[in-house]
Amino acid sequence: MVSSNKKNHSGVKKPFRLEEIWRIRTRLEIENSLMQLALLNLAIDSKLRASCAFI
């Protein structure tokens, strides 16, 4: 019998590529979704600061 958890892949996901980030930013700007754009920028900035803390 196969567990139902076998179908769900959980764990670490691959990070966004630079091209994907720019695509998301452009779409948010076109849609004039400033709040979502600000949250995206905050998340990216937080991720960058966290990765530099170990250097």
Q: What domain range includes position 29?
A: 16-52
Is a pLDDT exceeding 70 seen at residue 54? no
Burial string for 18-55 (b: 16+ CB within 10 Å, else e) reads: eeeeeeeeeebeeeeeeeebeebeeeeeeeeeeeeeee
pLDDT band, very low/low/confident/very high, at 55 (cuts 50, 70, 90): low
Residue 10 lies in a domain: no
For residue 9, being part of any structural domain is answered with: no
Is the predicted pLDDT of residue 34 greater than 90, yes or no?
yes
| 1-32 residue pLDDT tens | 555 556 666 788 888 899 999 999 999 999 99
pLDDT of residue 4: 58
Length of the chain: 55
> In terms of DSSP H, where are the helices of the chain?
18-30, 34-52
What is the total count of domains within the chain? Answer: 1
The Cα–Cα gap between 2 and 48 comes to 39
**What is the model's pLDDT at position 6?**
63
The pTM score is 0.64
